[in-house]
Structures are given as C-alpha cells and as structure tokens.
Structure 1
Amino acid sequence: MSNKRIMDIELLRGIAVLGVLFHHLHINLFTSPLLQTISVYGQFWWGVDLFFAISGFVIARSLIPALQGCSTRQEYWLQIRNFWLRRAFRLLPSAWLWLTLTLLACVFLNRAGAFGSLHANVQATLAGLAQYANFRFADSFLHYEYGASFVYWSLSLEEQFYLLFPLMILLCRKYLAWALLALVAVQLLTSRTPMLMVVRTDALALGVLLAMWSMQPGYRRWEPTFLRRPWVGVSVLAVIVMLLSMLATDRFQPTHYRVGVIAMLSAVLVWVASYNRDYLIPRGLLKNLMTWVGSRSYGIYLIHIPAYFLVREFTFRLQTVGLPNPAGQPILTLLIACGLIVLLSEFNYRFIEMPLRNRGASLVQRLGTSRTVIPSSGATSC
C-alpha cells in the first residue's frame, strides 16, 4: 500500500477540526442564544470520532504491511520501535509546547479567569504529559474542574492506541480482524458511561478494518463510482454530516447505540475518501481551503481552546481600561479568534510540526542505516 498522502483524507481532517471548533465556541469563547438553539438540533463533537476513524485507517495502512514484511522477531520489534519514534516526533513536541504555553497563560494571562485555577491546570498538564488525560477527564466530568487543556483527553486515547495497537497485531495475528469486529460490536451494544466515552475505540477499530480491507482485491470492486456525478458526493457528505450532528444531540443521549453509529458513519466517510477521487467535494477553491485546514488540523486542535481563552482575556482587559470592547459583538470576536488560530497553527506547522516530524524520520533512517552496516564490521546481522 502506498504511503502517499490522500488529499480527501486531509479534507476530512479539515471537516473534523472545524466541527470541534464550532462545538467549543459556546461558553469557551462567548455565550450565544443562537448557538444554544443550534445545539438542540445539531452538535459537532463527532469531529473527534471522525479523527479516530482517520487515525485508525492511516496508521494501519502503513504499519500492518510493514510488520507483515518482517521475517524475524527482531525485525518486527525494530519496526515497532521505528513506528513509536515517528509517532513521538510527530505528536509530542506540539502537544508539550501547547501544554506548557497554556499553563503559563494560566499564570500570567488570566485576569478574566478563563484559563481556570492554577491547581487544576497543573494537574491537567501532568495528565497530558503522562498520557492519562482521558481518565482524568472522565473522573472530573461534572465533579470538578479539569483545566484549560481538556482537549488532551482524545490525544491521550490516540497515544494509548499507538502504543498498544502493534502489540495487538502481534498477539492476534490472523485473528486481528475478528478481534477488531468484536471490539466494535461490544461497544455498539454498551451504554457509554463517562469512562467508556473516553476509552471509545470503535471508530479507531473501524478505521483499521477499512485499512485492512483496502489491501484486498475486493476493495476496488466496491468503489462508489456513482459519486462522480455532479453534486451527488457533496449531497452524500451533507446528509452524513447532518446525521452525525443529529445523533450527537442530547435527545439521543439515552440510547446505547448512538456513539457506535457515529463511528460507523465516520468510517463510511473515510471509506469514500480513501479512494482519493474527489467524491466528497470537487476540486476547487473550497477543497483547497479545507485541505489546508486539514493539514494544520493537529495544531488547530491543540491551539483553539487557548486561543479562545486569550481572546476572552484580551476583551476583558479592554473592558477594564474603558476601551471599545468586541465582547458584545460575536462576529468580531469570532474573527479575532479565527485569525489567532490560523496564525498560531501556521507557525506551529512550519516551525514545530514539520521540522520535528522530519527529524524523527531522519532518526529512524539513521538507526536503520547503522544496523545495515554492522555486518561489515563482523557483527551478526539481524
């Protein structure tokens, strides 16, 4: 399977992160009766599940063939080590940077109190660093203050997946698909408590299953070519987004199946995008913009809550000195927040994400090269 970047997957990342940004607008940036009304008919936290489905697909698409190509156990563990190194360099520098900056903002830029208490943020920072933020999030839900870095719960879950998934491949071997299907089925039939919500892995498992299927001949035979017709793909995307948003509302909260169905619909979107044929949105300015957002989605996800809180701090300070305050103008407040998010996420992408990602890839390459030259000095080959 090619490791070439799939632009339609980047499009889905853009949709997912914009959904999360919109979901967090109310209260975190400003209160609005309009947003409160919208939330009755549609909510957008499903963007996280779409991210999970994408992650499962993208990771398995490259990792499973790499592990299947190993002829010895030592080679297998070297591939796992390389995978963990690439993931660490890809994710941790940005995560640690914005955890640190959020904690500093809590100390030095918190007159309005938007960032919360120092005690809660220290605990939240530790949870983010040690990758147990999802468990802290479940424990704190409706009980005590989490802190400004609450979005790290989903990052912790993904990190746990990256750590355990290679071991699952090793343990399950040819039964991996059945184990993943069982994981999806059990969660579909289970009522989601706060703890089960923060360890939900059905979308991740479905993404992995999709990647495994994409390596089979039948995958091409099921390509949804009917979506090539003008506006059919866009219509399908709009319908699925509306269904996801409706299922995420409080009216479906008592049902045990809604998160499982959200995971399945997210996997359907990833399936359509996996062919990379512009089925969901045709090429043009809108798609270029959405793929740009998708390419920066990791930084946007980390940055948007600190950015919202910084805008609240800024408007609070304007109010205290008697200067014109945009707080009563939601559109202006939103534009300022979006501009800040765009600026900071582009900075993060250019100076943190890409350089450290490339450094991780170079490190893996150097480690591989050093092992290949060992036999020439008389050592035993792996």
Structure 2
Amino acid sequence: MRLYCIDIIRGISSLAIVLLHSSITFWLAVFPDILYQPIESVSQFLIYITTLTCNYGWIGVRILIVLSGFCVYLGIAARKPERIPIFPFMKKRILRLYPTYFCVLLCAMLFTILFYRADLTFQNILGHLIFWYHNFYPVLKEPAEFSSVFWFMSLIAQLYLVFTLLYPFIRKHGLGAVCLATLTFSIVWHVFYIYTTAQLNWEWYACITPRHFVLANIGEWLVGAYLAECWHNKQHEQLRTKLKLSLPLTLIISIAIFLSVIIFKQYNDLRFEYRDSFNLPLTAATFLLMLYMITLEGRTMQRKQAANLPHKPRNPLTKIIIFVSDRSYSLYLIHVTVIAFMGQVGIRLFNLKIEDAPGSFLWLLTIIAGIIIAFIATEFLYRFVELPSHQWVRKLSRPPASPTTTETQKIKT
C-alpha cells in the first residue's frame, strides 16, 4: 500500500530545492538584505521566514538521499533475497534514471554551448554520461557542470552500486549494524576533512570531499533503508519505544534539529564546503521526521481498514504536493536549466544585469516565468519520457509468462 507521507516529504523537499535555485534573483529581487534587517512587524517576520526557507532549500537534498534508501529498500525488504546480482540491479535502476537524465543533459549541454560558450572536453562529456563526472577533475576544482543538479545524480547512481556491494554484509550482520558502521565512517571522514583543510590547508580532490564521496554518504542512504525494514516488519512503533520517544516528542526533536542547523548556519560565517558538516544532524532530523510520519500514517491505515474505508488523501493541498512528488525526478533535473534559460532571456531581451537583481521587478517577473515554464517542461518530460521509461523497465523486469496447457501440449506433440 502506498505511503503518502513519503510522497509529501519528497514533494516538499523538491519544491524547497526549486526555490533555492531561484532564490538568488527571486526573493532577493523583492526583499533585498531582508535576512540582515531587524524584524519590526509580523509581515516582515513572515517574509524573513519565507526567504530563509528558500536559502536553505539545500536541506532537501539530504532528505532526498534518505528517502532514496527508504524507497529502494522497501521492495527488497519484502523479497529478502539472499544476494543482489550487481548487473541486473544496476541495469534496472539506471534504465529508470537514464532516459529522463539523458534528455535533460542534452538540453543543458546545448544551453551551455549557446549562452556560456563553454569548451566541451571529452572528459566532461564522458563523466556526465556515466554518472562519474567529478572524478575526472583535479584538486578543489569543480567540473564544468551543465547543470548544478547533475552531481547529485552521480552520487545516487554510485550509492546504488555501493549498496549492492554491501548487501552480503547486511545479510550477515544485519542492516542496523552496517548502517551504524557506515555512519561512523562518515563522521570520521567529515572530521578528518575539516581538520586537514582548516588546520593543514590540504587540497582535496573533488571526488573525495564529503559532499561527493559516495562512502561518506552511504550511511545516510542506509538510514532510509533501515526505516523501510522497520516499516515492512511492523517494528516502527517498537523502534520509537526503544528510543523512549512519544509521537509528539519525535516530531518536536526533528523540527528542533532542522531549526538548529538553520540558525547556526545563518549566524556563523562558515565556508561553503563546511556546510557538509550538517549532513549527519540533518540525517538524524530526517530519520525522526520519517519515523513520526510513517507511524502516524500506519495508525491512520489501521483505523481506515477497521472502518472499511479507502486509504486516499482528501486534502487538496496534500493532493497537490503528491502530484509534485510524482514528478519530482523530472522537476529536479529540468528546473535549473529552464530558470537559467529564462535568466538569459531577461539579460538579452531586457538588458537585465545580475548585480541589479535586488529590488528589480523585471527580475522578479523573469524568474516567476522561469518557475512556471519549469513546471510545464516537467509535465512534458514526465508524461513523454519518465513514465514510458518506467513502464518499459517494468516489462523488462517482468518474469516470462509460463506456457499455457495448450501450448505445452503443442510443444510435446
């Protein structure tokens, strides 16, 4: 049965990321320096909270990693296979991702060539095509990304691969033990990275920074997988009891962690790469939020089953968020390219300048148009690329039908 709470979390996270990538010229165009002005009214407070939400949309990326582990492992928890063959598993996952990814990649490459006159190298193109682009670049140098979201797709594809390699250990030692081991490694890696860059002035290769290094992120992915196992085994209530948390307290602590990260980051001038230090607290907050949501929905399911009622959302806002969640993959991939394209349209047609964005009404209209067109492009991509590719993968994954009695008799004859 579908868990609508997971769709809600995914939909909100995707919208937060879209707002983040448009916030440079969107919210600051209307409310310049709002984050650094004293709050003197309720309306100003609401504007402050909205702007702050946009600026911290990157938190949605950390949530999506945990959600990915939950969704992928939920089907595996039902089957409990002794082993996961690497090639069939990776083929199925990549075939689901690749058609939509490839279409957006072509659009982003064309946009980059036309508007930024970027030099395309063989390494750059090959790296993007095989989800390994940042591993071809030297110390502390980001690759010439065609879109600022492609690094995440590389990380997700690599997480799938590492998961299949870890699965024998999961079967032998248990998912909880492997999850704790990988989280411990992640903590050590983050501390080592911060110490060596801050104290020793080391320069790190982009592929092994905490943001990009798959082994520094697999623990977060497995946290989602662990929650999926608890849900499948109906142990989520027991897990919360072991943590000695009431249902309201679970939500309160989760919100408190999210707010603590935002407040600490807002009032401490940290280097961009140190933002990854918040990954583990955000994972803990996501874990508690998901535990609260699946527990609440599990109880709702039981009540509706007892009353013989269908388990479907009725709130219009919830339906809208679920609608966005269904299209979140296409939206995540395409929105940056479309919004950037509209920005270039504004620059070339209306002679807009980035430095004039704060307080510019034309910039505001341009970015709003970009967001609207991004949703239209998302719907097109979802209907004509993503959905057909998913249906194709299901057909490939479906076991061959056994011959009917008549066919068997013909074969024998």
- State the TM-score bracket (shorter-chain normalisation): 0.7 to 0.9
**Does the 8 A contact of 2:253 with 2:285 survive in 1?**
no
SS of the equivalent of 2:400 reads helix
SS of the equivalent of 2:210 reads helix
Shift of 1:86: 2.8
**Does the 8 A contact of 2:10 with 2:325 survive in 1?**
yes
Change (3 A) 1:240 1:261: closer
Whole-angstrom distance in 1 between the partners of 2:296 and 2:52: 32
Shift of 1:170: 2.0
Quick one: which amino acid aligns to residue 11 of structure 1? I
Unaligned runs of 5+ residues in structure 2 are 37-50, 195-205, 301-312, 409-413
Map of 2:212 onto structure 1: 198
Whole-angstrom distance in 2 between the partners of 1:40 and 1:10: 20
Map of 2:197 onto structure 1: none
Quick one: which amino acid aligns to residue 99 of structure 2? P
Shift of 1:169: 0.8
Whole-angstrom distance in 1 between the partners of 2:107 and 2:339: 14
**Does the 8 A contact of 2:8 with 2:321 survive in 1?**
yes
Map of 2:343 onto structure 1: 312
* TM-score, with length taken from structure 1: 0.76
The structure that has the greater radius of gyration is 2
Map of 2:387 onto structure 1: 354
How is 1:317-332 mapped onto 2 (pairs within 5 angstroms)? 317-319=348-350, 328-332=361-365
Map of 1:11 onto structure 2: 8
**Does the 8 A contact of 1:44 with 1:248 survive in 2?**
no
Map of 1:380 onto structure 2: none
Map of 2:40 onto structure 1: none
SS of the equivalent of 2:376 reads helix
Change (3 A) 1:355 1:265: same
Map of 1:50 onto structure 2: 63
SS of the equivalent of 1:5 reads coil
Whole-angstrom distance in 1 between the partners of 2:373 and 2:324: 14
Change (3 A) 1:275 1:105: same
Deviations 1:313-359 (A, max 9, x none): 211232259xxx99643432232011111101111111111110001
Shift of 1:303: 0.9
SS of the equivalent of 1:196 reads coil
1:151 and 2:165 correspond: no
User: Is 248-257 or 81-90 further displaced after alignment?
Assistant: 248-257
Deviations 1:263-317 (A, max 9, x none): 111222222333462999x851221221111111111111111011111121123
Q: CA RMSD in A?
A: 3.8
Map of 2:39 onto structure 1: none
Whole-angstrom distance in 2 between the partners of 1:251 and 1:349: 40
Map of 1:126 onto structure 2: 126
Change (3 A) 1:359 1:140: farther
Shift of 1:56: 0.7
Quick one: which amino acid aligns to residue 232 of structure 2? M
Whole-angstrom distance in 1 between the partners of 2:367 and 2:13: 19
Quick one: which amino acid aligns to residue 392 of structure 2? R
How is 1:110-259 mapped onto 2 (pairs within 5 angstroms)? 110=115, 116-119=116-119, 124-135=124-135, 143=141, 146-175=144-173, 176-189=175-188, 190-191=190-191, 192=193, 195-199=209-213, 200-201=216-217, 202-221=219-238, 226=247, 241-246=258-263, 249=266, 251=268, 253=270, 258-259=278-279
Shift of 1:188: 2.9
User: Is 33-42 or 339-348 further displaced after alignment?
Assistant: 33-42
Paired residues, number: 346
Shift of 1:216: 3.4
1:343 and 2:356 correspond: no
SS of the equivalent of 1:369 reads coil
Map of 1:113 onto structure 2: none
Shift of 1:255: 8.8
Shift of 1:65: 3.5
How is 1:47-126 mapped onto 2 (pairs within 5 angstroms)? 47-66=60-79, 68-69=80-81, 76-77=84-85, 81-108=87-114, 110=115, 116-119=116-119, 124-126=124-126
Whole-angstrom distance in 1 between the partners of 2:130 and 2:102: 10
Map of 1:288 onto structure 2: 319
SS of the equivalent of 1:8 reads helix
Deviations 1:51-70 (A, max 9, x none): 0000011111112443x245
Whole-angstrom distance in 1 between the partners of 2:278 and 2:332: 24
Quick one: which amino acid aligns to residue 353 of structure 1? E
Work out the percentage of aligned pairs sharing the same amino acid. 20
Quick one: which amino acid aligns to residue 6 of structure 1? L
Whole-angstrom distance in 1 between the partners of 2:144 and 2:35: 22
Whole-angstrom distance in 2 between the partners of 1:82 and 1:160: 15
Shift of 1:95: 0.7
Change (3 A) 1:233 1:256: closer
SS of the equivalent of 1:24 reads helix
Quick one: which amino acid aligns to residue 391 of structure 2? N
SS of the equivalent of 2:147 reads coil
Deviations 1:236-281 (A, max 9, x none): 876565345335547284698522101111222222333462999x
SS of the equivalent of 2:371 reads helix
Map of 2:284 onto structure 1: 264
**Does the 8 A contact of 2:338 with 2:373 survive in 1?**
yes
